[in-house]
Amino acid sequence: MQVILVTEIWGHTPHVVLMADTIGRIVNRVKIVDPYDGTDQKFKNEEKAYTSFIKQCGHDEYVRRVTHAVSEAKEPVYLVGFSAGAGAVWTSVCKGTRHTVQGALCFYGSSIRTMIDAVPTVPIELVFPEHEKHFNVQSVVQALNEKPMTQCHIVPHGHGFMNPLSDNYDQKTSDQWLHWIQERITSPS
């Protein structure tokens, strides 16, 4: 099994490397897909990260990168995406994927709300914070839960709760959800 880990707008940070190393203990390979070709940009704040993401990559290019990573896989794949990466994973699995994709896990993919009519082609679990500034989480989750192969979770944490660079980061919660990711990858529902 290979995991393709698709990052937030912050990109390939030391935290992402630690996460990949942790997941790598239970799978053959972890490939990190990020907006900046593996370079840690060391952004000072979220605004700078977002501006760089839009300028250097954007959603369509990010989807292309995810799709390319999947096409290169030589073994079964599990996709794990965060924020902008979750939106790219959602789009990729809704456009159709190679038979190698076994499933996907997406965390706080707020852009998914703009792609609510899409239908995934593999089992996918979406984890949303209980509150998002720009949309009603309950309404989005209700619509998404009607999609085949889609399961949504609303958690009592803020957007970015697994990222130490986020104001909403919580170490204990991040550790718990990282364990959850490992369980899902080794025993998909």
Summarised one tens digit per residue, pLDDT across range 42-74 is 999 999 999 999 999 999 999 999 999 999 998
Interatomic CA distance for residues 103 and 107, integer angstroms: 14
Per-residue pLDDT tens over the stretch 134-177: 999 999 999 999 999 999 999 999 999 999 999 999 999 999 99
- Domains plus CATH for the chain? 2-186 (3.40.50.1820)
- Please check whether residue 13 is in contact with residue 38, taking contact to mean a CB–CB distance below 8 angstroms: no
pLDDT value for 94: 94
Q: Tell me the one-letter amino acid at 150.
A: T
Phi, psi of 142, deg, nearest 5? -60, -45
Nearest 5 degrees, angle CA 169-CA 9-CA 96?
110
pTM: 0.96
pLDDT of residue 17: 97
Q: CA 18 to CA 20: how far, in whole Å?
A: 5
Which pLDDT band holds residue 188 (cuts at 50, 70, 90)?
low
